[in-house]
Structure 1
Amino acid sequence: MIVFDEVTMMKINTILAATLCSSLMVANAQAADVDYFIGAGTGYQTDTINGDVIKDTDGLPIILRAGVVINEQHRVTGTFSYMEDKFSIGEQDYKHEQYSWLVSYDYLIPVAKNTQLFMGVTAGGNDNKVAGKASADFTWGGQAGFTYQWNEHFSSDLGYRYLEQDYSKNGVDIDNSQQVYLTLDYKF
C-alpha cells in the first residue's frame, strides 16, 4: 500500500484540480470545433539519478495517449507511458522502472499545409521504482515539437518533453526525465 505525505497529497489534489479544469474546458468547448484522438508511440528517454546511485538511466518508453483538439489550435492530452532500464554499477545490478500519468496542454501553430508546431505544459504523476524502492511523485514540465497530418484521420508528433521530478527514496533521487518521442494518432 502506498502512503502519501501531506505535500504529496497537495500535489495529487493539484493534478486532480487541473484535470477537472481541463474537463470543464472541454465540456464548455462542445460548441467549438472539437476533434478527439487516440494514439501510441515510442522514443528515447533518459532520467537523471543522483544520491547513492549516480547514473543517467535510459530506455525506450511505451506511450499511449488520448485527447482532444479544440478549434485546431488547442490540444489537451492524457498520456500513459512506461520505461525501464537495467544497469550495473560495479558488482551491483539495478533496475529502474517508471510509470507516468500525465495531462498536457499544447498550443498548435500552423507552419505549412499539413504541419504544425506545438508547445505546451505538462503535469502529472510518476511512479518510479529504483533498486527495489518505489515512490509515486508529482512531475511537471513542458514539451515542444511538430505535428504532421498524414491524411484526414492519421497524424504524427515528433516532440521533446522535459519533466522535473520529486523522487527521493532511501538515498536515491531522480531529478528529471527527458524524452524525444514519435507518436501515431488516429483522429475520430
Structure 2
Amino acid sequence: MKTKQLILAGVITSMMSVPAMASDWFIGGAAGYQKNTYKLDSSVDGTKEKEKDMAYQLRVGTYINDNSRVYGTYGYNSEDIGKQQNFLLSYDYLVPLGASNKMNWFVGATAGMTHTSIKDADLSSGNNFVWGGQTGFMYNINDNWSTEIGYQYLKQDYEKDVGNGANTGTFSLNDTQQVYLAIDYKF
C-alpha cells in the first residue's frame, strides 16, 4: 500500500505545481460505456462477472504546453451490482497527427480514488486506490472547443470478505474499462 500512496502523492504534487506553468485551462464532460470485472473466490467456487453500463464524467484541467495536459475527473457509474464514484488525476501526452495540429493522438496515466458501493447488504462500500491509463484521439474543432474519443483502463483495489463458516470467500472488483466521447471548452 505504501507504493500506491507514494504514486498518488507524486501525482497530486505534480498537479499542484502545474497552474504556474499553464497556458490554457479547460472544462468538459464525457459519456461512455463502462465494464467492471467482479470476481468471487470462495470455498465453493470461483466466478467472474462483468457488468456493463453507462458512465459519466466531469473534468477540469490545463494544457502545460502543446504536447502535455493534466486534469482532474469526477466520474459516476451505476449498474446492477453496484455504483462507483471516481476522483482521478490524469496526465496525457499529445502527439499531433498532421501539420495543422487539429487531430492529436493521446496516451497517458491516471491515479486516484474510487468510492465503490455494492448493492448487496452483506458488502460494505469503501474508498479504494485506482490506477491505470488511457489513450484516444482528440480533435480541435476551433480555438475554444475540442472533442475526443478514448479508452481508459483502471486497475481496482476493492476487496471484501464474504460468507461465514465453511462457505467463505472474497468478493473483489478487479478492473474497469471504459470507452467514452468527451467535449471540452478551453478558456
Q: Shorter-chain TM-score: which interval?
A: 0.7 to 0.9
**Does 2:168 align with 1:158?**
no
The question of whether the paired residues in 1 share the 8 Å contact of 2:18 and 2:64 is answered with: no
Identity of aligned residues (%): 36
SS class of match (1:118): strand
Give the aligned partner of residue 98 of structure 1.
84
Moved over 3 A (4+): 9-14
SS at match of 2:143: coil
Show the 5 A alignment for 1:140-159: 140-159=131-150
Instruction: Give CA deviations for 1:46-83 in whole Å, capped at 9, x if unaligned.
Output: 01000167311111111000000122110001001000
What do residues 112-148 of structure 1 show as CA deviations (whole Å, max 9, x unaligned)? Answer: 3310000010000111112242111100010000001
Q: Where is the helix percentage greater, Structure 1 or Structure 2?
A: 1
Q: CA deviation at 1:10?
A: 6.9
Question: Is 1:46 matched up with 2:35?
Answer: yes
Alpha-carbon RMSD: 1.7
The whole-number CA distance in structure 1 between the counterparts of 2:180 and 2:110 is: 15
Q: Give the letter aligned to residue 36 of structure 1.
A: W
Tell me the TM-score normalised to structure 1 length.
Answer: 0.83
Matched residues in 2 for 1:65 and 1:12: separation?
Answer: 23
| TM value normalised by structure 2 | 0.84
8 A contact 2:62–2:71 mirrored in 1: yes
Q: Secondary structure at the match of 1:22?
A: helix
How many residues get paired?
Answer: 169
Q: CA separation in 1, counterparts of 2:79 and 2:135?
A: 25
CA distance in 2, matches of 1:40, 1:25: 21
Q: Distance in 1 between matches of 2:133 and 2:3?
A: 21
1:55 to 32, 36, 49: 49
Q: What's the counterpart of residue 15 of structure 1?
A: 8
Larger radius of gyration between Structure 1 and Structure 2: 2
Task: Show the counterpart of 1:26.
Answer: 19
Q: Give structure 1 stretches of 5+ with no counterpart.
A: 1-6, 87-94
Stretches of structure 2 lacking an aligned partner (at least 5 in a row): 42-46, 162-169
Q: Which amino acid is the alignment partner of residue 184 of structure 1?
A: I
